[in-house]
Amino acid sequence: MPLSERERKVLQQLERELFIQDPHLARQLESGVPVPGPVQPRIRDVMEAAVGVLLILLSIPLHVFPLALAGILLVAHAILAHRTYKNESSSSLL
């Protein structure tokens, strides 16, 4: 079913506004080529936290404080990175 004249004008106006507001996104949509995103942040953050916990647990019987500190830092980084990603993704949807 073809678009009416009014619908065509509205669509053209939306396209112009998109090119003004976000030209990079407009070019991506125009080309039809999907842009590969980063590794799933949720998976990356969970894996990072798991490695951190393993380092902490490994440092207990070995009595190696730097290993425990590295594990704590990894877990903290994973939590902060995930929070930042969640905040960015929720704000980009608005």
Where do the domains of the chain lie? 1-36, 37-94
CA distances for 65 relative to 47, 51, 60, 94, angstroms: 22, 16, 8, 44
**The model scores a pTM over 0.85:** no
Per-position pLDDT tens, the chain of length 94:
788 899 889 888 988 888 888 887 778 777 777 666 665 778 888 899 999 999 999 999 999 999 999 999 999 999 998 888 767 665 554 4
For 11, the token pair is: 């669509």
